[in-house]
Chains A and B, each alone.
Chain A
Amino acid sequence: MEPFRHLDAVAVPFPRPNIDTDQIIPARYLNRLRDEDFGAWLYRDLRFAPDGTEVPDFPLNRPQWRGARIVLGGPNYACGSSREHAVWAHVDYGIRAVIAPSFGDIFRINGLKNGLLPVVLPAEAVRNLIAQVEAAPGARIAIDLPAQTVTGPDGAVHAFEIDPFAKHCLLEGLDELGFTLGLEEEIAAFERRYGRENA
């Protein structure tokens, strides 16, 4: 997975509370394989009309927010059914971070394992960032993962918390399997010693 260190990108506001994973990716796409482009199905039924044409008002379809790599979300972002595909849809679309007052817990944890950074900021701070990107089309937000800060278009710096192990994995671009494989020499040495001692 692609390492995450610094991100300076356009942020799209989507502050509706309690957005659930059925909206993020409808269940009919859950039987698709990981090598397909899940980005095409991100918010499929909100982004597109049934005939496949774009819904002009949907934030991701607005000219100023195309190419956004950050989502400014509402409280309890991505609650609902457990589906890793909801994270894949964000990542494949090009989203690398979601900033919200709170997250559906499964989505938050899936994000950390798939290179999508969930940033929890106080509701007031998120509202403030949303007001700024709505006022200035194309406004950018900077995320510094080593420093654990978000810098808004106004230059205000917001600190955020992240689990140290999850942070390490994101910085190195490792999922948990990748992390374990990085210890392969130690594991092999243990196996040899254990084999000898218990022969």
Chain B
Amino acid sequence: MRREAMLRALDYMGLTPGTPLEEVAVDRVFIGSCTNSRIEDLRAAAAVVRGRKVAPGVRHAWVVPGSTPVKRQAEAEGLDAVFRAAGFEWREPGCSMCLGTNGEIGAPGERVASTSNRNFVGRQGPGVRTHLMSPAMAAAAAVTGRLTDVRRLLAGEA
């Protein structure tokens, strides 16, 4: 049963065993959720993004601050400008793609680098593939267009 569950997960995620993570391309990046879009999270993501651009293959790169106070604080620190300059959308606070109730979901088959905290089947829309990661890692995926070890990116290796 455990094996079945794993095979089902691989199939849903469209992954082949043995594929290096850094070869997995992403279609969307979602930096958000109440737990992973606090001001320190946005600072960490902005530090990765600063001076870089969202990769052409990434169709949507969103930053959704964890709350209105976080949004105001981030704007006071100029973080919104860093994200916008890189090609991110700077959006209104809310649950957004963490839950998707408001219709903010991906298209079937899309692969999302997401800082939310649930990766259940269909969580970010029917057929949508969620890879959970930290804000810095999501920022790294946005600028390279694939899952990326942010430490290697910052060291100039990725």
Residues of A within 8 A of B (CB): 16-18, 20, 22-23, 26-28, 30-31, 45, 50, 74, 80-81
Partner of B101, one of A17, A28, A80: A28
Chain B residues close to A by CB (< 8 Å): 1-2, 5, 99-103, 105, 108, 118, 120-123, 126
Residues of B within 8 A of A20 (CB): 120-121
Residue in A22, A26, A31, A45 whose beta carbon sits within 8 Å of that of B118 in the complex: A22
Instruction: Determine how close the nearest CB of chain B comes to the CB of A43; give it in whole angstroms.
Output: 11
Q: B123 to A27, Cβ gap below 8 A?
A: yes
Contact B121 A27 (CB under 8 A): no
Q: Which of A16, A23, A50, A74 contacts B120 (CB 8 A)?
A: A23
Q: List 23 A-B contacts (CB under 8 A).
A: A17-B1, A17-B2, A17-B5, A20-B120, A22-B118, A22-B123, A23-B120, A26-B122, A27-B99, A27-B101, A27-B123, A28-B100, A28-B101, A28-B103, A30-B99, A30-B101, A31-B101, A45-B122, A45-B126, A50-B108, A50-B126, A80-B118, A81-B120
A81 close to B122 (CB less than 8 A): no
In the assembled complex, how far is the CB of residue A162 from the closest CB belonging to chain B, in whole angstroms? 27
A199: min CB distance to chain B, Å: 45
Cα distance A27–B100 in the bound complex, in angstroms: 6
- Describe B's contact surface by its main secondary structure: loop
| Chain A contact surface mostly | loop
Separation of A50 and B126 alpha carbons in the complex (Å):
9
In the complex, A81→B33 CA distance in Å?
A: 14
Given contact pairs A20-B120, A22-B123, A31-B102, enumerate 8 new A-B contacts (beta carbons under 8 Å).
Answer: A17-B1, A17-B2, A22-B122, A23-B121, A27-B123, A28-B101, A30-B101, A81-B99
CA distance A28 to B105 in the complex (A): 9
Which residues of B sit under 8 angstroms from A27, Cβ to Cβ? 99-101, 123
Please give the distance in Å from B83's CB to the nearest CB on chain A.
Answer: 26
Residues of chain A with a CB closer than 8 A to B118's CB? 22, 80-81
Cα separation A161 to B22 with both chains bound (whole Å)? 49
- Chain A, Cβ-Cβ closest to B100: A27
B107 to chain A, nearest CB (A): 12
Closest to B124 in A: A27
A120 to B123, CA, bound (A): 27
In the assembly, what is the distance between CA of A28 and CA of B120, in Å?
Answer: 14
A80-B120 in contact given A28-B101, A45-B126, A50-B126 (Cβ < 8 Å): yes
